[in-house]
Every structure is written in structure tokens, then in C-alpha cells.
């Protein structure tokens, strides 16, 4: 798949984007996908540690799911920073796997469960969003951030799957390497994009770090 059509304006200044995964959600360790669970108290505490006295962000973009959007709205109230809810920043839809544990899925469909991890591109869970479609919308969202918020320092509050897709793209890794990237609850990663005379250069500044 080619993403050459997604070219940014040549006059773009340095753009910094911080990606924050939501904290621990209610409901336990399940394939949550787009199931709209709220944060636990621990999840709120995990995210709160990133809220410094003077946050560096000019704008916040968030998945509309509660485990992301509630904290984004909290920052808006506390720090008076604009918040934009963006549907394309939602987690992948896991179809019939949503709300189930790995043990439950394996018990119901062991072959399908392991086939997904062996070759996720060609083994989509029942009624789920394909990995290719998920990649397409995540990179579309990434492009919108860079075009609409160029020259800014933005915060994107989203999900592990979305962050993995963006990191794989920025680091020029194959999509099959997606699950080799660990994205803990409430982890913060920073990507910097700048323009040179040779074009646009993106680099990962840190992963699972702290402000």
C-alpha cells in the first residue's frame, strides 16, 4: 500500500505530537476494541501523572471513547486547551471478540485465535475491522493532525492499536511487526516532524516516557 498521496505542505514548521494511551479501563483484561468502558480509579491516576503545571500542548485530539475522551475533557477544564474528538482515533473494532478474554476466545476458536497472531493481515476476527482498514484510517487521522496542526505541539489521547500503527509507519517497520511494540496503559510517546530541503522527516523522540 502506498501513502505517497499524503504529502504535507512544504512550508510546515516543526510539529510535535505526543501520543498518550488511556489508563486502565473498567472491565478487566479483555479484547475491548470499541467497547466503551470508562477508566478505573487507577486508570485516572495513571493518566493524571502526565498533567504538569504548565502543559506544553496547544491542542488536544482524542478518541471519542470514554476511556480517552473523559480525560481529554478534564484537561480542557483544568488547562483551557481546545479538545477535538476524532472518530478515526478509535481503537480497532474486534467484532465478535469484543469484551472477551484471550482464554475465552481461544476456547471458542483456538485455530482462529492463533491464526490472527500468526498472520493478522489475512485472518480478521469474525465481524471485526480488518487490519488494513484500521491502518488506513489511523494514517488518515495522522495526516490530518500534521496538516491541521502543523507547527504546533499537540496531544493525541488514543489507544494502543492506534499508537502502534503510527509508530510502525514513522519507523518504516512492516505492519506484521505491530504486536512487537509494547504500549502500556497511560504511556506517553513523542513524534517530531520537521521539514528540510529534502522533504519531511519524522522521528520518534521517546516511547513510553514522561514529560
Cα angle 56-58-61, degrees, rounded to a multiple of 5? 110
CATH number for the 15-94+130-209 domain, one of 3.55.40.20, 3.40.50.1240, 3.40.50.150, 3.40.30.10?
3.40.50.1240
**Residues 163, 19: contact at Cβ < 8 Å?**
yes
- Is pLDDT above 90 for 52? no
Mean pLDDT of 66-87: 96
Grid coordinates belonging to 102: 484471550
Tell me the pTM.
0.91
Residue scoring higher pLDDT (119 or 2): 119
Encode pLDDT of 9-28 as tens digits.
545 479 999 999 999 999 99
Q: What is the mean pLDDT of the chain?
A: 92
Amino acid at each position: 500500500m502506498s501513502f505517497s498521496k499524503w504529502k504535507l505542505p512544504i512550508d510546515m514548521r516543526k510539529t510535535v505530537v505526543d501520543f498518550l494511551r488511556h489508563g486502565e479501563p473498567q472491565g478487566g483484561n479483555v479484547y475491548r476494541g470499541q467497547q466503551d468502558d470508562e477508566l478505573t480509579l487507577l486508570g485516572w491516576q495513571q493518566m493524571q501523572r502526565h498533567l504538569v503545571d504548565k502543559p506544553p500542548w496547544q491542542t488536544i485530539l482524542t478518541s471519542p471513547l470514554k476511556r480517552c475522551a473523559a480525560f481529554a475533557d478534564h484537561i480542557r477544564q483544568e488547562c483551557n486547551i481546545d479538545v477535538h474528538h476524532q472518530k478515526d482515533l478509535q481503537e480497532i473494532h474486534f467484532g465478535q471478540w469484543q469484551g472477551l478474554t484471550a482464554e475465552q476466545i481461544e476456547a471458542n476458536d483456538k485455530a482462529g485465535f492463533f491464526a490472527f497472531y500468526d498472520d493478522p493481515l489475512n485472518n480478521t476476527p469474525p465481524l471485526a475491522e480488518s487490519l488494513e482498514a484500521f491502518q488506513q484510517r489511523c494514517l488518515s487521522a495522522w495526516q490530518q493532525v500534521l496538516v491541521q496542526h502543523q507547527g504546533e505541539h499537540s496531544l493525541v489521547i488514543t489507544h494502543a492499536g492506534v499508537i502502534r500503527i503510527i509508530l510502525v509507519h514513522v519507523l518504516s517497520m512492516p505492519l506484521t511487526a505491530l504486536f512487537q511494540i509494547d504500549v502500556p496503559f497511560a504511556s506517553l510517546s513523542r513524534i517530531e516532524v520537521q521539514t528540510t530541503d529534502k522533504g519531511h522527516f519524522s522521528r520518534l523522540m521517546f516511547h513510553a516516557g514522561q514529560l
